[in-house]
Amino acid sequence: MRPVLICPSPNFNRRLLPIDMIVLHYTGMKSEQTALDRLIDPTSGVSAHYVVFENGDIYNPVDEESRAWHAGISFWRGETDTNSRSIGIEIANPGHEFGYTPFPDAQIDALIALCKDILSRRRILAVLGHSDVAPTRKQDPGELFPWSKLAENGIGFWTNDFCQPVGSIKQMLSSIGYDTTDLNAATTAFQRHFYPEALLSDGKRTAERISAVLKGVSHDL
């Protein structure tokens, strides 16, 4: 892994829970430098533990032991304080608002190396996108993010399988960990992560893909 560049942010506080998640975001701003500047701006109210630029440079605004402010209002498997239990990684990308683009290989390679380093040091139970934990508010890192490549490197979970549903979509998504208060939003978040081609089709096999993910993950993502 290439050296991590320290760029301290004052936007953090004390964790209240053990770390057991990694949450991946895209920056969703016009430039990566603008995004980094915002994450270290004391008036912004946001931060992250790491920022990965398109060329693979990695910045570290907040120490892992501290609670960065990246997830906002969120939920996963009954817990709403995602910031306390997670390491937040921002991946530089304009996002849907400013011209969403594929993630460069150098950036994803650096992200994989960073995640592998974290996984070697911590008991991580889930590697998720921001939209997984905040489906009514967020779309990132989005349907172009290469989740399968991360899974090939031992980071998170991926499957191309379809299985016979073992319950309703709401029941299965809840069992995986999603907040299903808004079922349409939760379903779309699932599709962005585990079944992106459904966003460009009728998504008729979404329930079968949800069932396959539920069967495959059991406990960990």
Map out the domains of the chain with their CATH numbers: 4-156 (3.40.80.10), 159-221 (no CATH)
User: Could you tell me the pTM of the whole model?
Assistant: 0.96
- Residue-wise pLDDT tens digits, 33-57: 999 999 999 999 999 999 999 999 9
The residues assigned a catalytic role are: 90
Fill in the DSSP letter of residue 201.
S
The residue that leads in pLDDT, 203 or 210, is: 210
- Band of pLDDT at residue 1, cut at 50, 70 and 90: confident
- Band of pLDDT at residue 2, cut at 50, 70 and 90: confident
- Residue-wise pLDDT tens digits, 109-163: 999 999 999 999 999 999 999 999 999 999 999 999 999 999 999 999 999 999 9
Q: How far apart are CA 119 and CA 139, in angstroms?
A: 25
User: 39 in helix, strand or coil?
Assistant: helix
- Residue-wise pLDDT tens digits, 53-62: 999 999 999 9
What is the pLDDT, as a whole number, of residue 220?
Answer: 65
- Band of pLDDT at residue 219, cut at 50, 70 and 90: low
What is the pLDDT, as a whole number, of residue 65?
Answer: 98
Residue 218 pLDDT > 80: no
What is the per-residue DSSP string for 46-113?
---SEEE-TTS-EEESS-TTEEES-S-S--BTTB--HHHHEEEEEE---HHHH---PPPHHHHHHHHH
What is the pLDDT, as a whole number, of residue 108?
Answer: 98
Ramachandran category for residue 117: left, alpha or beta (phi over 0 → left; psi -120 to 50 → alpha)? alpha
Helix (H) or strand (E) holding 4, with range, is strand 4-6
CB crowding 44-74: b at 16 or more within 10 Å, else e: eebbbbbbbbeebbbbbbbeeeebbbbbeeb
What is the per-residue DSSP string for 188-209?
HHHHHHH-GGGGGS--TTHHHH
Ramachandran category for residue 45: left, alpha or beta (phi over 0 → left; psi -120 to 50 → alpha)? left
Give the bridge partners for 26, in sequence order: 91
- From first CA to last CA, the distance across the chain in angstroms is 23
Residue 22 pLDDT > 70: yes
Give the bridge partners for 50, in sequence order: 89
- Residue-wise pLDDT tens digits, 167-198: 999 999 999 999 999 999 999 999 999 999 99
User: 203 in helix, strand or coil?
Assistant: coil
Ramachandran category for residue 56: left, alpha or beta (phi over 0 → left; psi -120 to 50 → alpha)? left
- Residue-wise pLDDT tens digits, 65-118: 999 999 999 999 999 999 999 999 999 999 999 999 999 999 999 999 999 999
